[in-house]
Amino acid sequence: MSDFEDQPKKTSRGKFPLPILWIVSTLLICAVFALATVPRADAQGSGQAEDGQYVQSFSGQGSGLNARAQNARKYTSIMQNVFDFIQRHYVEEVDPQVIFEGAMTGMFNALGDPYSNFLPETEMTDLNDTTQGNFGGVGLYISKPVGEQPNGKPAYVEVASPIEDTPGWRAGISPGDLIVEIDGESTEKLTMDEVLARLRGVPGVDVNLLIRRGEKLEFPVTLTRAIIEVPTAKYAMIGDTGYLKLITFTPMTADRARDAIKEFKSKNYKSLILDLRNNYGGLLNSAVDISSLFLDDGVVVSTKSRLPGENHVFNARKTAAVGQEIPVIVLINQGSASASEIVAGALKDRGRAYLVGEKSYGKGSVQKVYPLDNAGFKITVARYYTPSDVNIDKIGIPPDREIKFPEITEADMEKLNTLINSNKIPGFIKENPSASSTAINAFARTLSEEYKLDISLLRRLIRNEQNRTTIAPVYDLEYDVQLQEAVNILKGGNFNSLMETSKTLKALQEEASKDLPLAS
């Protein structure tokens, strides 16, 4: 997986002055947090959390401690005693931070909740980068191999993609380029964190890179760090249909979506496809903002918790940017999670969009992130419910029309493994970086005859490799069967009749429960 290589603007070290926001994925917005007391937290400016009262019962202040509060105080004291004992008696001197981080990790692991966990300093920084939506750096997505390489080559940093209109992009750095040195230091032995620390920094400061392209070409590049905006949306026209792909939900997402809709309107769009595939989520308020572009008022999502202060109903804004006369199709798949599911669920339940693709991931919980000195923690505070009052956690959202890519059988997996190890597809793209559709199809037919694999699967693998080594197009209608289906539905002229047969998530869940066998 690629990593961001840039750093946001920050205040003094360890201080996070931004207000606490709701999140519905592994994204972060920082707020002030103290060990002794947890401040009362506001969720998007509405409602008040009960954090202060909760900590008061832990600390023993106030009257009438119940059994749970007494146990909490007892165990807190025991943990402090064990911490002190290790410091005094362990055979070797131990860094208190190591013990602290281990204890924090263990506490959150004990919850058995994959979305509640301790966040070391590096994770807090990375999450802060993404959630703020912009940061200081040179504008490259990068990856780095771990461990010894099978071909014996050095494990240099590889550029996955430059971010458009950034220093790296303007310097002509391309996907597949290797960053051999940073400011004269080889990247071979550096960890990813060390690489990020050298590439990130204060805007306006130069970073000197040595780039290797292909087997022989090496050249130096000097990049001046700038404020980098995290890409959150891509858009283009498909005929008279506006195509909007949301990559993640940050504070900038709604603005970029409005830019897209403005562009669609200028070109007299007749319909819109909202692509939420492989969008893992983001900020809850961003999901509400996106839903508001399609809905005139009314419920988008509600949150429910055991703490009254975490119970909220989030409504759409008064005027939608996309008129009700515009047909909307939402693309989802197993990688659509969290904030993506809030949007998809809201538009489906409110009868505003037709869903195409595969069942979504199924993450129906809301987290808050609290800074803790330079580290922090993320904890589930509520579950969210769609407008028809359904929670989709571990269930997901089914599409109105299921369209899957060709499935790979176990027998095909063995053949595919042989093909991948042969390195034939990367070799073909290396020799033909700008291969046309005709050339790709011809090569796919050759591979299909040799390996007895589905030709559509092979064409997609070849195109994916081509996109990896070039800047990928906004959409790929030729190889994307789910997008093809969405376009065909819109062209078919029966969108309204399809919407009449679409059911709310509550109706679907009730139907599913009736089909379950009765317990004996």
Tens of pLDDT along 18-31?
A: 334 455 543 332 22
Query: 332: which residues sit within 8 A by CB, 6+ positions away?
Result: 276, 277, 340, 341, 344, 355, 356, 357, 358, 359, 360, 397, 399
Domain ranges in the chain?
134-229, 233-406, 410-481
Positions annotated as catalytic residues are 338, 349, 363
pLDDT value of position 140: 87
**In CATH, which superfamily holds the domain spanning 134-229?**
PDZ domain (2.30.42.10)
CB distance 44 to 147 below 8 Å: no
Percent of the chain past pLDDT 70, that is, above it, reads: 83
Cα–Cα distance for residue pair 275/279, rounded to 1 Å: 9
Domain 233-406, CATH number (from 3.40.30.10, 3.40.640.10, 3.90.226.10, 3.40.109.10): 3.90.226.10
pLDDT value of position 516: 56
CB distance 279 to 248 below 8 Å: yes
Reply yes or no on whether the pLDDT at 15 is more than 60.
Answer: no
pTM: 0.75
Higher pLDDT, 159 or 350: 350
Q: What value does the mean pLDDT take over residues 63-72?
A: 75
Q: What value does the mean pLDDT take over residues 229-235?
A: 87
State pLDDT tens for residues 383-412: 999 999 999 999 999 999 999 987 778 888
Reply yes or no on whether the pLDDT at 59 is more than 90.
Answer: no
Query: 190: which residues sit within 8 A by CB, 6+ positions away?
Result: 144, 157, 182, 198
pLDDT confidence of 310, banded at 50, 70, 90?
A: confident
